[in-house]
């Protein structure tokens, strides 16, 4: 197996937490609905590959995201480890109650930086979304759960165009005020560029959000996901969302393509000498296994480079 040449950069973090979203964000946009047992094995394979955070599923209405309708069964089927976090997405109090019943310790809520996407994804505007999330975060924190806030459309919106940094900062502060322990900045349609990423991270940090609470979530629509990740790391961000095999998209933003592939991220981090704890070979094996179940090859460039015969 070809390994990257390691040249550390002292300006970058020494360790990065990879927030694996494949089982949730990756599978939710697939047309094929996988069996529960396959989803459970997918999660457990990712954990065995060394991922310490694996976002498992979403407790949403089955008619909204039928691919994740078996959230309860998947959570019940996982042999959970004490050293691994298994967050789930919840849209409202009903979803939170189901997640609590499933014994979760981490939840995430999904907010929007733009009015258009808030209306399409949540059925309400930007201001009204905070009213919907407040009882969710209050109850979750009362239960001792960690709460992450996803913030979508941070760099561009298919209906509104370029998103101003000011409105993203305002939304990020609203999530912090709600009690979110962490905030993930999402490039939902993959239009961001490195300079824009660095500028936004600096603005949010200057506004009072701790750097160690900021994560980044890039889609690779224009091939900028890795470059944008590096830009975020240079600003001190240490949590990066990615999806095994580059799976993913957004069912309510058709311009969104796959997430940053975890394999591609790991290869870059290895070359920079940044610790992350993931076994790249085991991760590639997991993606090969999933390819067989999905019936198509992974868009991950590292997976393709390591398996040229699978492309023929």
> Catalytic residue numbers?
250
Give the span between the Cα atoms of 234 and 172, in whole angstroms.
20
Q: Which two tokens stand for residue 34?
A: 């996988």
Q: Give the residue among 53, 41, 52, 57 at the shortest CA–CA distance from 98.
A: 57
Give the span between the Cα atoms of 93 and 96, in whole angstroms.
5
Residue with tokens 């961001």: 192
* Beta strands in 204-299, from DSSP E residues, in sequence order: 214-218, 239-242
Give the span between the Cα atoms of 288 and 304, in whole angstroms.
10
Give the span between the Cα atoms of 51 and 73, in whole angstroms.
22
Instruction: Please tell me what DSSP assigns to residue 243.
Output: B
Integer CA distances (angstroms), 294 to 33, 245, 252, 289, in order: 9, 11, 22, 9
Integer CA distances (angstroms), 134 to 65, 180, 214, in order: 23, 10, 20
Write down the H helix ranges in 34-109: 36-48, 71-77, 93-101
Contact 213, 239 (CB under 8 A): no
Q: Put residue 208 in one of left, alpha, beta given phi > 0 → left and psi -120 to 50 → alpha.
A: left
């Amino acid at each position: 197996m070809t390994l990257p040449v390691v040249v550390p950069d002292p300006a970058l973090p020494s360790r990065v937490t990879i927030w694996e979203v494949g089982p949730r964000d990756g599978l939710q946009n697939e047309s094929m609905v996988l069996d529960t047992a396959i989803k459970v094995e997918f999660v457990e394979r990712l954990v065995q590959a060394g991922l310490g955070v694996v976002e498992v599923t979403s407790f949403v209405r089955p008619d909204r995201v039928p691919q994740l309708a078996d959230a309860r069964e998947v959570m019940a089927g996982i042999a959970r480890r004490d050293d691994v976090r298994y967050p789930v997405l919840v849209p409202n109090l009903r979803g939170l109650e189901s997640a609590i019943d499933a014994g979760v310790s981490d939840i995430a809520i999904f907010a929007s930086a733009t009015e258009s996407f808030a209306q399409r994804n949540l059925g309400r505007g930007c201001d009204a979304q905070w009213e919907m999330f407040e009882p969710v975060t209050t109850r979750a924190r009362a239960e001792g759960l960690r709460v992450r806030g996803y913030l979508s459309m941070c760099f561009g919106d298919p209906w509104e165009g370029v998103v101003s940094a000011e409105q993203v900062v305002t939304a990020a502060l609203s999530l912090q005020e709600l009690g979110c322990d962490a905030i993930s900045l999402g490039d939902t349609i993959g239009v961001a560029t490195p300079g824009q990423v660095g500028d936004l991270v600096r603005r949010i940090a200057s506004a009072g959000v701790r750097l160690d609470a900021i994560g980044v979530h890039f889609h690779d629509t224009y091939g900028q996901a890795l470059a944008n990740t590096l830009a975020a790391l240079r600003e001190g961000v240490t949590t990066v969302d990615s999806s095994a095999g580059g799976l993913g998209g957004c069912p309510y933003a058709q311009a969104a393509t796959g997430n940053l592939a975890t394999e591609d991220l790991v290869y870059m981090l290895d070359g920079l000498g940044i610790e992350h704890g993931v076994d790249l070979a085991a991760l590639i094996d997991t993606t090969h296994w999933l390819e067989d179940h999905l019936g198509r090859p992974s868009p991950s460039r590292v997976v393709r480079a390591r398996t040229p015969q699978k492309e023929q």
